[in-house]
Structure 1
Amino acid sequence: MDSLTEALQSTRLNNEPEELEQLVFNPQPDTGIEDTVLDNIPRYLFRLASPKSDGTTDERWVRSAAAVDNDPSSLEDIFSNLDIDKREEIAHMLNLHLRWWPKDDVQDNFVSWTSSLLFAIQYIYYRHYKDGTSLDEIKLYVVDTTIFPRGTFMRDLDLLDIFGGFDHNLQNLQSLRNGDTWYFGEYLSQGSLKIENKCQVIPADVLFERNRLRRIQPQFANIYRGERQRAPTWANEVVRLRRAIWPLPSPSTSAPTGMGDRLQAIEEIMQHVAPDWRFPIAIHFAALIGPNIPRVEMASRNVGFLDSQSWSFPWLTD
């Protein structure tokens, strides 16, 4: 009886291997790129997802299209068993993914993230008008990359350096993205990534309630609820907004007008954010105001999402 009890205690009802929480990039020395590129990852990355997005994204998992289809390639790092044929295959998949071209029979195992909050926000307009997706179905995901293992994310430019020579279309994209104008801080993960308890989610409608986004930065377009509009440009509009919000060669020294209401709009958004995430996310939204934000006013205002005693961070730009 004792032997039977011990045997039952050690029996597993499910012998399937436990699903990996991430599939890391592991470039080998023969890829021609330094291992240090895996350390060149911003602390916070954004992903904008809707029901029309490729793959699936929710508060527990982010899965590529290949992972959703349970394709075997979704479990294999792109750098494993590299030969000429596989390099060409990866280059082709990377080109289709980065250009948002139809995938046809190609299994896309990439998931896109961005370090640019501006780029993610403009994608809300694109999805809302292009697909007719309601704002409450569109969600902004923020992850802290330091919580994940090294190699979970990789910059698109580094992947372009490795695989650009194996697809002529990818080479053209590499030339385009190497300039400042058409670079939008894109980073990729691969396969399935567990983000449960490692992310903050903000529904898009929170940003537009009470006109909050335009109160922060009037350069953003008004959004017409319930009306199907022509899909706005995405990349071109981001370029325009960059130039309008952060003019070059040097901005004027005058502070933006209506600062009190701008900060109030940020504080209203932060009420929908968990306390541990409020400070870094507030910094990114405050950067959308522009470069000339008087720090004294920030510290002196009674804003709940900032600790004035620790206010020593430079303003982030896009």
Structure 2
Amino acid sequence: MTLEVLADKIQGLALDDAECLPFCPPDEIKLTLEGSDNIPRHLFRVFTPKSAGITDEFWTKSLDARLSGKDHKTDIFARVDKRHVAKMINSHLRWYHCTSDNLVSWSSSLLVVLVYIFYLQASTWDGLTFGNIHLCSTFRGDLANEAEEGDSTDDDSL
């Protein structure tokens, strides 16, 4: 299968609102993101059977989405209780085990996720092996243009 055919098939995919929670920042934040050349083109995620959320070949779901928790379909920017949002972000970034978390971690650094994979495998507390540690990647861009122009990504964007 050629890259152009694959790009056409991927661009033809569509999701219903009921199936996902799109990233939807308010207009004032969108303005700061537009025109920014610091938005990574590739994102990476490491997941295991012991991850709080669920990741498979189609979906990445947070702990709240997996458990159909309260507000799991409410965008983080649209939430009224900003204190709760701040607490959730703080707990997520510190890897605290919480009963509610509607966030999923991704990295723009392949090196960071590879180091994390080796850390998980070397840790004895959860019994993970390379066979059950998975790496997921996503690409933000136009695959058809990438095929024509070649990958012009420099090292700074990884």
User: What's the TM-score once normalised by structure 2's chain length?
Assistant: 0.72
2:55 matched to 1:57? yes
Deviation at 1:144, TM superposition (A): 1.1
For 2:69, the equivalent position in structure 1 comes to 71
| 1:314–1:46 CA distance, 2 compared to 1 (3 A) | closer
Match of 2:122 in 1: 129
Aligned equivalents of 1:74 and 1:146: distance in 2? 27
Q: Give the distance between the partners of 2:70 and 2:62, measured in 1 at CA.
A: 12
CA distance in 1, matches of 2:45, 2:53: 12
Which amino acid in structure 1 is aligned with residue 109 of structure 2? S
- CA RMSD, Structure 1 to Structure 2 (Å): 2.9
Distance between the aligned counterparts of 1:70 and 1:79, measured in 2? 19
The DSSP-based 3-state class of the residue aligned with 2:18 is coil
Matches within 5 A, 1:1-318: 19-27=18-26, 29=28, 33=29, 35-37=31-33, 40-82=38-80, 86-103=81-98, 105=99, 107-130=100-123, 131-146=126-141, 313=152, 315-317=154-156
Residues 112-166 of structure 1, C-alpha deviation per residue, up to 9 Å, x if partnerless? 110000000011112112222121211111101237xxxxxxxxxxxxxxxxxxx
**Cα distance in 2 for residues equivalent to 1:312 and 1:95:** 36
Q: 1:72 offset after TM fit, Å?
A: 2.6
SS in 2 for 1:94: helix
**Any stretches of 5+ residues in structure 2 without a counterpart?**
1-15
How many residues were matched structurally? 136
Look up the SS of the partner of 1:111 in the other structure: coil
Native 8 Å contact 2:52 2:63 kept in 1: yes
What is the aligned-residue identity percentage?
A: 34
Q: Deviations over 1:66-91 (max 9, x none)?
A: 01111131100122253xxx111100
Secondary structure of the residue that 1:73 maps to in structure 2?
coil
Cα pair 2:25 2:77 within 8 Å, conserved: yes
1:314–1:73 Cα change, 3 Å: closer
2:6 maps to which residue? none
> In structure 2, what is the Cα distance between the partners aligned to 1:96 and 1:314?
33
> 1:28 Cα shift?
5.2
The answer to whether the 8 Å contact 1:26/1:79 transfers is: yes
Give distance in 2, aligned partners of 1:312 and 1:108.
Answer: 35
| 1:60 Cα deviation after fit | 1.0
Q: Which amino acid aligns with 2:127?
A: G
1:177-234 per-residue CA deviation (whole Å, 9 max, x = no partner) reads xxxxxxxxxxxxxxxxxxxxxxxxxxxxxxxxxxxxxxxxxxxxxxxxxxxxxxxxxx
The aligned amino acid for 1:113 is W
SS in structure 2 at match of 1:113: coil
Distance 1:142 1:81 in 2: 28
Deviation at 1:23, TM superposition (A): 2.6
CA contact (8 A) 1:128 1:134 kept: yes
The aligned amino acid for 1:25 is C
